[in-house]
Amino acid sequence: MLRLAGNGTAHTCDGMTRRGFLEVGSLSAAGLTLPALLAAEARADQSGQKKQDNRAAIMIFNLGAPSQLDTFDLKPDAASEIRGPFQPIATTSPEIAISEIFPKHAQIADKFSLVRSCYHTAAAVHDTGHQMMQTGRLFTGGINTPHAGCVVSYLKGRKTDLPPHVIMPEPMGNTGGGLSHGQDAGFLGKANDPYVLMADPSQENFKVPDLLPPPELGEARLDRRQKLRNIVDKKLTSFEQSENAKLLNSSFQTAFQLISSPTAKQAFDLSQEPTAVRERYGMNRFGQCLLLSRRLVEAGVRFVTVNTFLTVFDEITWDIHGSKPFTSIEGMKDIVAPMYDQGYAALISDLAERGMLDDTLVCNLAEFGRTPRVNPTGGRDHWPQCWTVYFAGGGVQGGRVIGRSDPIGGYPAERPVNPAEVVATIYHSMGLEMETNLPGPAGRPFPLVDSGTKPILELF
């Protein structure tokens, strides 16, 4: 994951500095938090991927994994140790009943569709699920497949001064496996990594430091730095021939453009939102990340990834094992569900009211589900054999249920869906062809999706 150095020092992906006297001038473009947007744009034009497609995507990743049996796939007729404490409630869709802990979801159920038969066969480890659900593949043989948002960024390029893919509030942290989470560009290279917010937008006086010149460097002085750098560049022809120099040059130009862009500054400025709108989303990290996602998509960002939580260890999450430091099923109702319910319902309603939902795919994913049987401490443990994901907007027809689990919510009983199909569905919504090849390791063509993998077309 590429981020800007807090002290303004510029580094290439292997640590090379441009020159000491250019460190301040390179500052954020130093922009190695930023993909090589201009190069991506050129690739998009050359490959015939025209940018008339206005589709965007917001991936909400529910790190920790919600219990399907207590959220979107309740089994009220099962034994008490399976069905849990919550009752299903009716929604605005005649096909969908969901848990009572999501009353705001119930009011907009006609706008999203559930897939109740997602599964995978890898280890029941958070990290492996993160890999598969965000890239479509399990990392093996030293090959790290790129995040779906990085693929979209690479193939389509940018639409405005803003980065094409943004992750917020931070990348996923430790979830126990010590493995990669699949939130970077993998074999596509550091130049295509997402821009990472690294800030909590719910905090008072929220700012995005990467988009601002250092306080000691005003914009006029920054412009003079750029001119000085251009002069020095002419004297460094041998350095300029290296791949590191090309990456640094592209990053500098992109970050310089971003720093001076009124569009970028406005998009990240949540203070422009009325208080009532901010409160509608919820004055918490998750709610404000969703509001910021809407603003970024509105301003031209193609893909936003929102991590509902960052780790399963330092905060209460969907990881409801029951025993401390984790929470119980009831704790999920009291702590996690209200925040999540409010923020998601606000996002979908806001996008619909602004006429943006048809062109914005919102997908809610997780790494696995939860055991059908409640454990002795009042929680549920890891269970990759069956769980629910859901989609709204971006061409998805709302109010539907795709797939079905067995009577205890333990295994798919109808239309099983694997992670590769979930990621293919995102690509389909974004207008990518399944037959596309990416430049893989050692320059060999790497298929966008494996042979036979198809999107969940029943959603569209």
Q: Give domain limits for the chain.
A: 1-32+209-267, 55-206+274-459
Amino acid (one-letter) located at 85? P
Cβ distance 11 to 3 under 8 Å? Answer: no
CA dihedral 423, 429, 431, 436 (to 10 degrees): 20
In this prediction, residue 261 carries a pLDDT of 80
Helix (H) or strand (E) holding 388: strand 387-392
Distances 452 to 416, 427, 449, 455 between C-alpha atoms, Å: 14, 15, 8, 10
Asked if the bond preceding 215 is cis, omega within 30° of 0, the reply is no
For residue 245, give every residue at least 6 positions away whose Cβ sits within 8 Å of its Cβ, in sequence order, or none. Answer: 236, 239
β-pair partners for 129 = none
pLDDT of residue 146: 98
Tokens of 388: 């629910």
* DSSP symbol at 111: G
Segments in the chain below pLDDT 70: 1-52, 209-260
By C-alpha distance, which of 197, 195, 194 is closest to 150? Answer: 194
Q: How far apart are CA 136 and CA 171, in angstroms?
A: 18
Residues 168-223 pLDDT 10s: 999 999 999 999 999 999 999 999 999 999 999 999 989 886 665 544 444 554 55
Give Cβ neighbours of residue 49 (< 8 Å, ≥ 6 apart): 155, 156, 157
Give me the pLDDT at residue 13, please. Answer: 33
pLDDT value at residue 63 = 98
The correct answer on CATH 3.30.230.30 for the domain covering 55-206+274-459 is: no
Interstrand relation of 387-392 and 112-118 (parallel, antiparallel or unpaired): antiparallel
> Rounded to an integer, what distance in angstroms lies between the CA atom of residue 166 and that of residue 179?
21
| pLDDT the model gives residue 49 | 43
Give helix 419-429 / helix 126-135 axis angle, nearest 10°.
Answer: 30
pLDDT digits (tens, 9 = 90+) for 403-453: 999 999 999 999 999 999 999 999 999 999 999 999 999 889 999 999 999
Cis omega (within 30 of 0) for bond into 169 = yes
- Helix, coil or strand: residue 334: helix
pLDDT of residue 47: 43
Q: What is the pTM of this model?
A: 0.84
For residue 15, the model assigns a pLDDT of 37
